[in-house]
Amino acid sequence: MQPILEIDQLEAGVQGKQILKGISLKIYPGEMHAIMGPNGSGKSTLASILAGRDGYEIIRGRVLYQGRNLLELSPEDRAREGVFLAFQYPVEIPGVNSAYFLKAALNEVRKYRGMPELDAIEFLALVKEKIKLLDLDEELLKRPVNVGFSGGEKKRNEVLQMAVLEPRLAVLDETDSGLDIDALKIVANGVNCLRKPDNAQLVITHYQRLLDHIVPDKVHVLVDGRIVMSAGKELALELESKGYDWIVREAKRVN
């Protein structure tokens, strides 16, 4: 079976500074992987590179998405091909109405996939169904994108977009950070509901607590731009009780 995402010996940096120092992982359909690691280990850099953010230099290695070179695609083509990044810091876009934006995005994606575009009524029916999943107020759709949203609303809005766009590969960049326990459960529930046998999820997190509610097939620990350990979900619990220090020491000893 072909992996949905295959990262092979990826080395990358920003402004001449190398951040990722050789990352390899494979995510197969139906799988959810978690990447954990201390601050500054390169987690968000990896998320940004997968989504196609400007300003990163690829030094070595490759990233294949369903067998295709992901890195040569523009951010919009990645989205249309089914890659979705839930932003760590969702961007406020004053003046752009949320519903208008989401409908435009969905129709771009549908058009690309050869599906008919949805009209306003069809779109509203769809989004109202999805919005219940995230326990969000429908009024948010009338507001500008992320403007005046609370921290929790912004994160839930990311998962709402994910629910509407139905990506094949979702990368969630610290979607749990800044959430209280109720919001965390809602987000986790949303992510769980979107798990399908033919899609894959990569959850990037600093804390183990999200993993109380969503159960990854694999946990990778990223330290200083390298995956220093990969194991089952029990690794997350070990990190929670022992912290990152022991694994950082372990990594230094090996290198």
Partner 1 sequence: MNSISTIPDADAAEAPHFGAVRTAFQQYESQTRAAGEPDWLASLRRRQLTRFLAAGYPTRRDEDWRHTSLDAVVSMPFALASSAGPDGRIVQLLEGSAFSSVSGQRLVFVNGHLIPELSRAVRSSDGVYVAGFASAVQEKSEILRARLTADSEDGSDGSLGALNLAFAREGAVVIVPANTVLDEPIVLVFVSFPQTAGERTHVRNVIMTGPNSRATVIEHYIGLGTESAVTSSVTELHAGQGAVFEHLKLQDESNSVFHLATLRARLESSSKVSCHSFALGSRLSRQNVLATLAGEGIEAVFNGLYLGDADRLIDHYLSVDHAAAGCASHEFFNGVLDDKATGVFYGRIRVRQHAQKTDAKQTNKNLLLSDDAAVHTRPQLEIYADDVKCTHGATIGQLDPEGLFYLRSRGLPVATARRMLIHAFAGEIIERVWCGAARDVLNRLVWDRVERTRHVSASEQ
Residues engaged in binding partner 1 (CB under 8 A): 51-54, 74-76, 78-80, 84-85, 87, 90-91, 93-96, 101-102, 104-106, 108-109, 112, 144-145, 161, 165
- The helix/strand/coil state of 176 is coil
Closest CA to 80 of 97, 88, 68: 68
Q: In the bound complex, what is the minimum distance in angstroms from residue 187's beta carbon to partner 1?
A: 18
Using CA of residue 15, residue 20, residue 21, residue 23, what is the dihedral sign? negative
What's the min distance (Å) between Cβ of 211 and partner 1? 25
Q: How far apart are CA 59 and CA 94, in angstroms?
A: 36
Nearest-approach distance from CB 244 to partner 1, in angstroms: 29
What's the CA gap between 191 and 175, in Å, rounded? 10
Q: How far is the CB of 101 from partner 1 (least distance, A)?
A: 7
Q: What is the DSSP track for 229-252? A: EEE-THHHHHHHHH-SHHHHHHHH
* Nearest distance in Å: CB 234, partner 1: 33
Q: How far is the CB of 241 from partner 1 (least distance, A)?
A: 36
CA gap 4, 16 in Å, rounded: 30
Residue number with CB closer to partner 1 (54 or 245): 54
Radius of gyration (C-alpha) of the chain in whole angstroms = 18
Nearest residue (CB) to partner 1, 76 versus 122: 76
Rank residues 67 and 94 by Cβ distance to partner 1 and give the closer one. Answer: 94
CB closer to partner 1, 163 vs 229: 163
Residue (42 or 90) nearer to partner 1, CB: 90
CB of 79 to partner 1, least distance (A): 4
Neighbouring C-beta atoms of residue 6, cutoff 10 Å: 18
Smaller CB separation from partner 1, 105 or 126: 105
**Rounded Cα–Cα distance for residues 183 and 41 (Å):** 26
**With contact defined as beta carbons under 8 Å apart, do 47 and 173 qualify?**
yes
| E strand or H helix that includes residue 187 | helix 181-193
Rounded to an integer, what distance in angstroms lies between the CA atom of residue 222 and that of residue 38? 8
CB nearer partner 1, residue 109 or residue 184: 109
Rounded alpha-carbon distances, angstroms, from residue 210 to 48, 82, 92, 137: 21, 24, 25, 23
SS3 218: strand
